[in-house]
Amino acid sequence: MSKPLLKVAAVQVAPAFLDLEQGVQKTLGLIREAAAAGAGLIAFPECWIPGYPWWVWLDSPAWGMQFVARHFANCMTADGPEVRRIAAAAADHGIWVVLGYSERAAGSLYIAQLIIDAAGNIVSARRKLKSTHVERTIFGEGDGSDIKVHATEIGRLGALCCWEHINPLTKYAMFAQNEQIHVASWPAFSLYSGKAYALGPQLNNALSQVYAAEGQCFVVAPCGVVSPQMIEMLCDSPAKHDLLQAGGGYAMIFAPDGKPLATPLTPTAEGLLYADIDIEMIAYAKSAADPTGHYSRPDVARLLFNAAPTSRTPWVQCPQSFEETV
């Protein structure tokens, strides 16, 4: 018996910038809206709560210090009350949620994603394996346990953030786990417009599209929007206005052959993109090329992948004889 189609939703909306409570409220509203439209999964942009820290790209670290305390205070913990409210909403509306957020853990921050099932259970709280370029002045990094595909009732589900999609080894580790539905979370594409092609929508939407074709999986690619209010807060000079512009929304959903499945919104528009996906369609793409299966050559090239979590403070019990040695 064939599995029913799954309706998925990709968010293209500006965040409640640096406002945790309003960010949660906005999240709950979008979950409600997607569920009312019949979606079984909704995917949010990178750093959706409390918004991507664009200031790090606009000026010196000293100038950006004005945002540090406010940003830190408005980041969620992976198990805090805000997450519990979002998980409860997922359960109330019977919808899977993949949420991009900035995670606060003790004194450090991480670019992260939560995968929450339709019963409100936290399936995964993953971190971006390596923050990109100047992001590393704010965020720490994940480990091999964050590169994981999860067997779920809606299919084998995984997620990555932004330029994790430019790393061939990370992608191959995901493909090797037989991923079927992938969430590719992006912050927005209006930074350095006309100055850095690599940061623009053409290349980065292509990364999501090629991920679908290489992995023979469905890719839900939510994308944030830079609002005029964010521009007013962040851009205090003509030079900064030139570096970051309003808009940048380019959300899309791709099929396992790379075909776009949704009608795009304009870059300044906000809303949800929808598509019905049929997991059984993956078999047709896999029959042509499965790079981790029949289309691979393990006798020529293989990936060595360490999926173990890494503790920064492994506590050990010293033997009783230890005191005699000091």
Is the dihedral angle over the CA atoms 110, 269, 254, 153 positive or is it negative?
A: positive
**Does the active-site annotation cover 128?**
yes
Whether omega for the bond prior to residue 50 falls within 30 degrees of 0, making it cis, is: yes
DSSP state of 186: B
Contacts of 294 (CB under 8 A, 6+ apart): none
Catalytic option among 26, 128, 171, 286: 128
Catalytic option among 47, 75, 162, 223: 162
- Inter-residue contact 88 to 105 (CB < 8 Å): no
Task: Concatenate the DSSP letters of all residues of 250-301 into one string.
Answer: --EEE-TTS-B-SPPPPTT--EEEEEEE-GGGHHHHHHH--TTTTT--TTT-
Please report, as a single letter, which amino acid is at residue 231: I
**Does the active-site annotation cover 240?**
no
Catalytic option among 7, 46, 47, 75: 46
3-state SS class at 142? coil
Compute the distance between CA of residue 186 and CA of residue 200 in angstroms, rounded to an integer: 11
**Does the active-site annotation cover 46?**
yes
Length of the chain equals: 326
Pairing of strands 218-221, 150-152: unpaired
Active site residues: 46, 128, 162
